[in-house]
Amino acid sequence: MFFKSMPTIRYNIDEKPRIVTDIFRRIIFTNYQNSKLALQEYYVRDGETPETVSYNFYGTSYYHWLVLAINNMVDVPNEWPRRTAALFEYTESKYGQNNASDVHHYILKKDVNGKDVEEEIIVDYDAAKLSSGDIEMVTNYNYELGLNDDKRQIYLLLPTYVGEAVSTYKRLMAQ
């Protein structure tokens, strides 16, 4: 349904005009995204894919595209959370072999009064503050792990609104 609803365009392939699906056409579901009543928060567990999330929530993997569209995701390999087992390999490929445990940055843990800081504040290296516990080192792997964990919190369109969303998608794609 996702690709079948997309319009076609004329495109030259090997110097010959062909009719192909316009995969660059997108619909953004802002009406639903702006309404907390139409959405439910969902935490993506390790190893889940858009298809499995769709199956677990809607009872069919057919709406995997809706899971992605509601969360405004187009680059699944980079925007969907990676498996924890694959995250170390990704970190090594991004920062270089054997660099996963290298320092990415330092964060402030305690303020000037010695109280715990609630938000992470990136700071410069200071040996005295590091040894006293006022700042903490964040490795490349832990940084990527944090980014990956942030990606796990998504929203799902409540089943009540799915029929309306699908018909709106088809109507807008036909224009």
SS3 label, residue 40: strand
Lowest-confidence region among 50-59, 90-99, 102-111: 102-111
Element at 88 (helix H, strand E): helix 84-95
SS3 label, residue 175: coil
Report pLDDT for 171: 84
Residues 166, 50: Cα–Cα separation, whole Å = 17
Report pLDDT for 134: 85
Decide which of 172 and 51 is more confident: 51
Asked whether the CA dihedral 31, 25, 165, 162 is positive or negative, the reply is: negative
Over the stretch 99-145, which tens digit does the pLDDT of each residue have? 999 999 999 887 767 777 777 888 898 898 888 888 899 999 999 99
Confidence of residue 25 (pLDDT cuts 50, 70, 90): low
pLDDT at 61 over 90: yes
Q: Across-strand partners of 135?
A: 108
Query: Among residues of the chain, what percentage have pLDDT more than 70?
Result: 89
- Between CA 92 and CA 88, with CA 77 as vertex, the angle to 5 degrees is 20
The pTM for the full model equals 0.75
- Mean pLDDT, the chain, integer: 87
